[in-house]
Amino acid sequence: MDALRRHTLLIIVLGSLVISLAMGLRHGFGLFLEPMSAELGWGRGVFAFALAIQNLLWGLSQPFAGALADRFGAARVVVVGGALYALGLLFMGLSESALGMTLSAGLLIGLGLSGTTFSVILGAVGRAVPPEKRSLAMGIVSAAGSFGQFAMLPGTLGLMGWLGWSAALLAMGAIAALMLPLGAMLRDRPSAKTSSDISLAAALNEAANHRGFWLLCLGFFVCGFQVVFIGVHLPGYLYDNGIAVTVGSTVLALVGLFNIVGTYTAGWLGGHLSKPRLLTWLYLIRGVVITLFLITPLSPASAYLFGIAMGLLWLSTVPLTNGIVASVFGVQHLSMLGGIVFLFHQLGSFMGVWLGGYLYDLQGDYGTVWNIAILLSVVAAALHWFINERPVNRPAARGVEA
């Protein structure tokens, strides 16, 4: 039992470190929008499109990365993902064309993220932790991603000021390479076969015919749209309104800091209350926070308050959403099914970051996209109200399928 506890703790610690690095580096990308676009003569649409491709490929490759992690364990997937991530940052720092930006920040980093973030890591955690502690453990690991955002955003800004944007990206690539040894030590154990196990094809069919699974996917689309639009375009929005760049980086750091509290609390609450109902209220409150931010006179103080409020709601969806998948379908194919749900998150991310850049270049402001984000909060709240987290009825007579 002691060995099992040590193994579980090791999975949580290593998973937290990997997610902290992956998400911490990623959340600094918005700081590069203005200097790269200005120096290289791009409109913001070029940078936004590359990050939109990143989020899209991250989502499209996530189910496959998750399926590999379910089958062979997370270690190999994290090592390959970490290598792609580091190479993407290296080539992003050397990019001088829109194509180079798309291939580096879009293709390589997008694939790298699929192997180093939530579905793969939380799948390993879900298999290692008892069901009654699963939601809390997922909240702890998700909070680590927020700590990475809080800790690394000021460092990213400091690197940019010290080295310039190009060399700063090269330094970030070296930091990303730390995920390789951490991932190699992440020796999670794929679930042992039991009489209630089902094949990958049967698991996909089961999810495809479950209404709640699709409602969860659509709700996570909204989460992706909101957080990636805000994470990438908020510094530019503040800069356009006369707010210093340092304020934008501080706001994103506050999002990361307070999301540590938000994700941990969401994970804890998910072990005691209905996770779908918690998600309904979370999305409604998000809509209220965004509305108040837009109707309140903009200042550094209002921006900081927005960062704090959004931080409490930022990744709180992750442990609750993955917790519902685990509760309904079990943990055998958790990384893969969680990856499918996350694909919809990334489709939303693609739309949020790309539409933000496209409409900005077209209209000269972000007003329309802010309004869409508010409307989507209401839609997501309604969708989650109709989700039931009761486990699927899976007759034992099915046996173990190949």
Assess whether pLDDT exceeds 80 at residue 3: no
Assess whether pLDDT exceeds 60 at residue 344: yes
Q: Residue 287 — pLDDT band, cuts 50, 70, 90?
A: very high
**Contact present, 99 and 179 (Cβ < 8 Å):** no
**Contact present, 138 and 319 (Cβ < 8 Å):** yes
Nearest 5°: the CA angle 111, 114, 116 is 115
Assess whether pLDDT exceeds 50 at residue 398: no
E strand residue ranges, 117-193: none
Assess whether pLDDT exceeds 70 at residue 192: no
Task: Name residue 215's amino acid.
Answer: L
What would the pLDDT profile of 62-92 be if each residue is shown by its tens digit? 888 888 888 888 888 999 999 999 999 999 9
The structure's pTM equals 0.75
Task: Give whole-number Cα distances, 281 to 237, 257, 318, 320, 379, in Å.
Answer: 27, 21, 14, 12, 12
What would the pLDDT profile of 345-369 be if each residue is shown by its tens digit? 888 988 888 888 888 888 888 889 9
Closest CA to 132 of 268, 315, 275: 268
Q: What is the mean pLDDT of residues 310-317?
A: 87
Assess whether pLDDT exceeds 50 at residue 389: yes
Taking phi over 0 as left and psi of -120 to 50 as alpha, with beta for the rest, 41 belongs to left
Distance CA 291, CA 205 (A): 40
Q: Residue 286 — pLDDT band, cuts 50, 70, 90?
A: very high
Assess whether pLDDT exceeds 70 at residue 1: no
What would the pLDDT profile of 36-56 be if each residue is shown by its tens digit? 877 887 777 788 788 878 878
Q: What is the mean pLDDT of residues 395-402?
A: 44
Distance CA 208, CA 119 (A): 18
Average pLDDT of the chain is 84
- Tell me what percent of the residues of the chain surpass a pLDDT of 70: 94
Q: What is the mean pLDDT of residues 334-341?
A: 82
Neighbours of 189 (CB within 10 A): 12
Assess whether pLDDT exceeds 50 at residue 400: no
Q: Residue 198 — pLDDT band, cuts 50, 70, 90?
A: confident
Range with the poorest average pLDDT among 279-283, 301-305, 361-365, 394-398:
394-398
Look at residue 193 in the predicted model and tell me its pLDDT.
55
Look at residue 191 in the predicted model and tell me its pLDDT.
54
Q: Which domains does the chain have, with CATH numbers?
A: 1-188 (1.20.1250.20), 199-389 (1.20.1250.20)
Of 127 and 251, more confident: 251
